[in-house]
């Protein structure tokens, strides 16, 4: 790693990277050939949604929508000169190794929420802990921004922490933006906006940190052309919000977008809402107090009473994507047509199903505790249709949306029991829990 950091040219970095890849392949690792990701990225249009490759599932290695971390940094997308990583848990040495495999060396700024693992830092790395006053709140966002030599940038929104375990045998999702070129110096701050106001929302989100290290990144975003971005940014930031400010964050933002841009058939009731997350937070004295009162209605059409019925728990099944045994750390939310052929919208996010992540109404206003970030996919802006197909209908004009799990959903067996960490009373779990302050995925 020291040799790589000392390289002063793209050519010398490429040599070191090639040697490292050769060594890893000899040790039995399957490393994607550098320089080819731009083609895979083009094939992912118009959604640009990827799932992490699963090390123990060889079938995922050749999938068009599978991705490894070095591919995000691939030289075919450009030479990276600066990078920003906002995350929950970061293994800095692992992250640097990913840059080495991609042959990229950059000035790097890292903001993290819970843990950052490193023995020493190179001079080109700045690392900052995001402190939150609320006891059980966390900085759970997973965003990357890359700046290239041509001054363009790229935004990546993910569900994965920056450590090996999250990128090897766990199902994760990520969205990668197109290359966002630098606007002319004469451009106005409002120029280069996307039809979804993604740029404005990202600037608003980054500004809420009030972190000097992000000032230059806010400027880079303002100077970039986001006109090709066709998705919405949905984020959460700790605070108490009132009036119009509530529509900027959490479930209120989702309701704001869906009520304006999503149209469902009049017989909307049979379209079930599917919330898929890796953990569920405290929902109050009963699930009706938050889940049915706030969350489910926000994902339904405005002013319709189509949320009757009781929530059902289903187990993760993903044989179609060869991820049946890869624990889902991905978080996604959608509605599915009764015939299981289409969806009217899709959310990929870091936010688990919790009040802290999505927000809740309290006496003093609309309260959010966590930092979170995600993407809303709306057909109106991506395919110019009212729904996304999720099965092959022989219409090449509208590509299939890559739902990460199998349909129909798989109910639990009658004798299955949920894993609840408070119920673990064995000695080994007691010892493990005694050294663990909290469990957040």
Residues 6+ apart with CB under 8 A from 247: 253, 256
Q: Output the pLDDT for position 286.
A: 64
Is 347 strand, coil or helix?
strand
Where is average pLDDT lowest: 51-60, 87-96, 125-134, 259-268?
259-268
Sign of the CA dihedral 200, 205, 210, 216? negative
DSSP 8-state secondary structure symbol assigned to residue 249: B
- Span 315-336, mean pLDDT? 96
Mean per-residue pLDDT over the chain, rounded: 89
Q: Is 19 annotated as a binding residue?
A: no
Q: Output the pLDDT for position 310.
A: 65
Q: Highest mean pLDDT: which of 9-13, 284-288, 302-306?
A: 9-13
Two tokens at 110? 């890292």
Task: For residue 159, give the nearest of 172, 175, 178, 140 by alpha carbon.
Answer: 172
Q: What is the pLDDT of residues 209-257, one digit of tens each?
A: 999 999 999 999 999 999 999 999 999 999 999 998 999 999 999 999 9
Sign of the CA dihedral 345, 60, 32, 350? positive
Instruction: Give the count of domains, the chain.
Output: 1
- 323 contacts 404 by C-beta, under 8 angstroms: yes
- The secondary structure of 61-81 as a DSSP string is GG-TTEE-HHHHT-GGG--EE
Of 48, 85, 256, 329, the catalytic one is 329
Question: What is the layout of strands, in order, in the sheet containing 143-148?
Answer: 66-67, 49-52, 173-176, 153-158, 143-148, 80-91, 107-117, 125-129
Q: Which residues make beta-bridge pairs with 129?
A: 112
Q: Output the pLDDT for position 280.
A: 81
CATH number at residue 387: 3.30.870.10
The H or E element that residue 383 is part of is none
Q: Output the pLDDT for position 313.
A: 85
DSSP 8-state secondary structure symbol assigned to residue 245: G
Residue 438 pLDDT > 50: no
* Degrees, nearest 5: CA angle 414-416-422: 135
Q: Output the pLDDT for position 128.
A: 96
Give the pLDDT band (50/70/90) at residue 135: confident
Q: What is the pLDDT of residues 148-177, one digit of tens each?
A: 999 999 999 999 999 999 999 999 999 999
- Span 336-353, mean pLDDT? 95
Q: Output the pLDDT for position 295.
A: 73
CA–CA separation, 120 vs 301, rounded Å?
51
Q: Which residues make beta-bridge pairs with 170?
A: 327
Give the pLDDT band (50/70/90) at residue 309: low
**Count of positions (residues) in the chain:** 441
Q: Is pLDDT larger for residue 262 or for residue 425? A: 262
Rounded to 10 degrees, what is the CA torsion of 368, 370, 371, 377?
-70
- 200 contacts 106 by C-beta, under 8 angstroms: no
Per-residue CA distances from 31 to 21, 40, 98 (Å):
7, 15, 11
Give the pLDDT band (50/70/90) at residue 302: very low
- The secondary structure of 128-167 as a DSSP string is EE---SSTT--B---EEEEEETTS-EEEEEES--BSHHHH
Residue 46 pLDDT > 90: yes
Cβ of 327: how many Cβ atoms within 10 Å? 12
Give the pLDDT band (50/70/90) at residue 330: very high
Q: Output the pLDDT for position 105.
A: 84
Q: Output the pLDDT for position 18.
A: 77
Q: Is 331 annotated as a binding residue?
A: yes
Give the pLDDT band (50/70/90) at residue 118: confident
User: What percent of the chain shows pLDDT beyond 70?
Assistant: 87
- The secondary structure of 266-303 as a DSSP string is S--TTS-EEEE-S-B----SSGGGTIIIIIHHHTS-TT
Residue 307 pLDDT > 60: no
Of 85, 139, 140, 256, the catalytic one is 140
- Span 55-67, mean pLDDT? 96
Residues 6+ apart with CB under 8 A from 113: 87, 88, 89, 129, 130, 132, 138, 139, 140, 141, 371
Give the pLDDT band (50/70/90) at residue 440: very low
User: What percent of the chain shows pLDDT beyond 90?
Assistant: 67
Per-residue CA distances from 277 to 60, 168, 281 (Å):
22, 19, 10
Whether 140 is catalytic is yes
Cα radius of gyration rounded to whole Å, the chain? 22
Give the pLDDT band (50/70/90) at residue 136: confident
CA–CA separation, 62 vs 209, rounded Å?
39
- Span 297-314, mean pLDDT? 62
Print the domain residue range for 265: 1-440
- 145 contacts 155 by C-beta, under 8 angstroms: yes
Q: What is the pLDDT of residues 357-412, one digit of tens each?
A: 999 898 889 999 999 999 999 999 999 999 999 998 767 789 999 999 999 999 98
Which single residue is written with the structure tokens 């109910």?
Answer: 411
Residue 427 pLDDT > 60: no
């Amino acid at each position: 790693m020291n040799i790589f950091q000392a390289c002063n040219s793209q050519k010398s970095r490429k040599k070191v990277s090639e040697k490292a890849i050769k060594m890893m392949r000899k040790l039995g690792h399957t490393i994607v050939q550098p320089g080819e990701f731009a083609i895979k990225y083009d094939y992912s249009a118009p959604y640009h949604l990827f799932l992490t490759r699963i090390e123990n599932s060889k079938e995922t290695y050749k999938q068009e929508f599978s991705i490894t971390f070095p591919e995000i940094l691939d030289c075919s997308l450009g030479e990276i000169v600066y990078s920003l990583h906002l995350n929950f848990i970061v293994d800095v040495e692992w992250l640097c190794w990913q840059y080495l495999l991609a042959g990229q060396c950059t000035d790097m700024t890292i903001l993290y929420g819970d843990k950052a693992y490193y023995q020493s830092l190179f001079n080109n790395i700045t690392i900052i802990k995001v402190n939150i006053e609320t006891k059980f709140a966390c900085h759970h966002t997973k965003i990357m921004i890359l700046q290239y030599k041509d001054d363009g940038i790229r935004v990546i929104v993910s569900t994965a922490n920056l450590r090996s375990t999250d990128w090897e045998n766990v199902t994760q999702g990520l969205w990668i933006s197109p290359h966002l070129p630098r606007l002319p110096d004469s451009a106005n701050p409002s120029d280069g906006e996307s039809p979804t106001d993604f740029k404005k929302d990202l600037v608003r989100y980054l500004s809420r940190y009030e972190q000097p290290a992000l000032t230059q990144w806010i400027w880079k975003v303002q100077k970039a052309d986001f006109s090709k971005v066709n998705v919405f940014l949905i984020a959460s930031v700790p605070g108490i919000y009132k009036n119009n400010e509530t529509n900027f964050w959490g479930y209120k933002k989702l309701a704001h977008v869906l009520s304006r841009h999503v149209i469902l058939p009049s017989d909307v009731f049979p379209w079930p809402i599917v919330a898929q997350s890796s953990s569920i937070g405290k929902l109050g004295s009963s699930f009706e107090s938050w889940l049915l009162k706030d969350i489910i209605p926000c994902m339904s059409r405005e002013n319709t009473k189509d949320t009757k019925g009781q929530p059902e728990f289903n187990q993760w099944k993903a044989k179609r994507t060869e991820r049946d045994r890869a624990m889902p750390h991905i978080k996604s939310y959608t509605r599915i047509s009764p015939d299981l052929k289409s969806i009217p919208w899709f959310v990929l996010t870091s936010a688990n199903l919790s009040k802290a992540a999505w927000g809740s109404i309290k006496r003093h206003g609309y309260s959010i505790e966590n930092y979170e970030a995600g993407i809303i996919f709306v057909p109106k802006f991506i395919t110019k249709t009212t729904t996304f197909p999720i099965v092959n209908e022989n219409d090449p004009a509208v590509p299939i949306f890559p739902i990460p799990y199998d349909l129909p959903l798989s109910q639990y067996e009658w004798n299955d029991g949920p894993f609840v960490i408070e119920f673990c009373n064995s000695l080994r779990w007691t010892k493990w829990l005694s050294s663990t302050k909290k469990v957040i995925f």
